[in-house]
């Protein structure tokens, strides 16, 4: 089931979700348990990451017991490439926190054998005890992670071909469409649905149509975000512009 939560602005959304994450970390670490977070890239989670960094600095929130699994990575981009999601995460979150490097997991876009790398990624998530909270954005194609349409409900971490719309949307970060990779590695829909809680974030009018489709359309591979309707604890965190079609 998808519940929606409307926020006055990006900053308030970031503060609310960061507080939930902080509470989860504190609760779990009290009983000696790690907190496993599923993390997303793109412009949408940036205010959330800034707020987590603020909580670490200003309130001493520790990430020593946190284990992270990122959703996806571009094919062929190594950690030093400024558009790789590894680079993005280091810059915008990890290097500002006390999270141990060994606790950070991001699919390897340079993996020589993507199929076995993806199987190992799934195994690592299971070995960590599964994801407690998965953060998601949403692409205008209805993708979550890089699960482009069509993506079935039972798909797992794998290599995917990127949709033309997604490549065009993401070309703003690369400066040139020709530089945007054609493929990526992504957690699957089934992998995402196994997270115990899901928080999808969407801001701005450009996301209004796809947000409405994700919530209102019958679940299908044509709009992978619709599969979230089958999740028992999924919240869409929206601003007024992104909620316009509801």
Q: Which residues contact 43 (CB under 8 A, 6 or more apart)?
A: none
Task: State the Cα–Cα distance between residues 100 and 102, nearest whole angstrom.
Answer: 5
Task: State the Cα–Cα distance between residues 141 and 225, nearest whole angstrom.
Answer: 9
Residues of span 68-87 touching ligand GLP by CB under 6 A:
71-72
Residue 185's DSSP bridge partners are 73, 159
The H or E element that residue 160 is part of is strand 158-161
Laid out side by side, the sheet with 72-74 consists of: 72-74, 183-186, 158-161
- Residue span binding ligand GLP (CB under 6 A) among the ranges 10-18, 107-115, 135-143, 224-232: 135-143
Burial class (CB in 10 A: 0-12, 13-18, 19+), 52: buried
Report the residue closest to ligand GLP, judged by CB: 137
- How many residues line the site for ligand GLP (CB under 6 A)? 14
Compose the 199-218 pattern: x for residues touching ligand GLP by CB under 6 A, - for all others. --------------------
Nearer to ligand GLP, 61 or 194 (CB): 194
Nearer to ligand GLP, 61 or 157 (CB): 157
Report, in Å, the least distance between residue 218 CB and ligand GLP.
22
Residue 36's DSSP bridge partners are 67
- Residue span binding ligand GLP (CB under 6 A) among the ranges 31-39, 122-130, 137-145, 232-240: 137-145
The yes or no reply on residue 170 touching ligand GLP (CB under 6 A) is yes
- Chain-centre distance for alpha carbon 19: 17
- Residue span binding ligand GLP (CB under 6 A) among the ranges 41-49, 50-58, 87-95, 101-109: 41-49
List the one residue from 35, 166, 191, 235 that touches ligand GLP (CB under 6 A).
166
Residues near ligand GLP (CB under 6 A): 40-44, 71-72, 137-139, 145-146, 166, 170
């Amino acid at each position: 089931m998808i519940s929606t939560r409307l926020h006055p602005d990006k900053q308030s959304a970031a503060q609310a979700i960061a507080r939930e994450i902080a509470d989860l970390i504190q609760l779990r670490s009290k009983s000696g348990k790690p907190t496993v977070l599923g993390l997303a890239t793109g412009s949408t989670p940036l205010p959330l990451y800034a707020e987590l960094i603020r909580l670490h600095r200003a309130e001493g929130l520790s990430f020593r017991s946190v284990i992270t699994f990122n959703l996806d990575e571009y094919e062929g981009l190594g950690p030093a490439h400024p558009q790789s999601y590894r680079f993005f995460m280091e810059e915008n979150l990890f290097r500002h926190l006390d999270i141990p490097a060994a606790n950070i997991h991001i699919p390897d876009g340079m993996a020589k054998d993507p199929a076995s790398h993806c199987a190992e990624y799934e195994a690592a998530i299971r070995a960590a005890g599964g994801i407690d909270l998965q953060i998601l954005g949403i692409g205008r194609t209805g993708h979550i992670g890089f699960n482009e349409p069509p993506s079935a409900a039972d798909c797992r971490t794998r290599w995917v071909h990127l949709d033309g719309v997604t490549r065009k949307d993401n070309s703003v970060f690369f400066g040139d469409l020709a530089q945007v990779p054609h493929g990526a590695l992504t957690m699957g829909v089934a992998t995402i649905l196994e997270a115990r809680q899901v928080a999808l974030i969407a801001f701005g009018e450009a996301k209004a149509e796809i947000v409405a489709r994700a919530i209102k359309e019958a679940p299908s591979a044509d709009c992978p975000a619709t599969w979230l309707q089958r999740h028992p604890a999924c919240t869409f965190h929206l601003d007024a512009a992104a909620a316009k079609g509801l």
